[in-house]
Amino acid sequence: MDNQVAQNLSLILFAPWFAILAGLYWFYPRKPLHLKRRLFDLSSLTLATVASTLGMHWSFFNADPSAGSIWKQVLATLISYGLFLLVLTVAIAIRHRLFRASKPTSTLEAQR
C-alpha cells in the first residue's frame, strides 16, 4: 500500500460518515438561520476536520509498532473519529447557547 494512502486511510474510509454527520450538523436545527450561525457552523466543521486529520496523523506515527501493523490504522481511526465527534459535540453545545431561538416567556409577549 502506498505510504500516503496508508497515512490517510482512516480519513478516506470515514469520509462518507463524516459527510453525513456534517450534513446533519449543518441542517439541524433549521432555525434560527442567519449568516452568523452559518459562519459558526462552517468554522466548527472546518475545525472538526482539521482536528480529525491532525489526530489521525499523530496517532498513525505514534502507534506502538509491536502491537501489529493493523494497530496503526485502528488507532488512527479511533482518534480521528473521536476528535471529529468531540469538536461537533462542543460546537452543538456552544451553538445552542449562542443562537437559541427566542421564545416568548408569556402570552403577552406572544401577542406582540
Report yes or no on 91 lying in a domain.
yes
Separation CA 3–CA 29 (nearest Å): 40
Q: What pLDDT was estimated at residue 101? A: 62
Q: How many domains does the chain have?
A: 1
Report yes or no on 112 lying in a domain.
no
The answer to whether the beta carbons of residues 58 and 79 sit under 8 Å apart is yes
Report yes or no on 70 lying in a domain.
yes
Using a 10 angstrom Cβ sphere, with 0-12 exposed, 13-18 middle and 19 or more buried, the burial of residue 80 is: buried
Quickly tell me which residue has 505510504 as its cell: 3
Q: Which domain holds residue 87?
A: 3-100
Q: What pLDDT was estimated at residue 94? A: 92
Rounded to two decimals, the pTM is 0.77
Rg of the chain on CA atoms, in Å? 19
Q: What pLDDT was estimated at residue 37? A: 87
The answer to whether the beta carbons of residues 53 and 11 sit under 8 Å apart is yes
For Cα atoms 89, 77, 8, give the angle at the middle one, nearest 5 degrees. Answer: 115
| Higher local confidence (pLDDT), 29 or 108 | 29
Q: What pLDDT was estimated at residue 62? A: 85
Report yes or no on 107 lying in a domain.
no
Using pLDDT thresholds of 50, 70 and 90, give the confidence band for residue 70: confident
Give me 19's grid cell.
Answer: 459527510
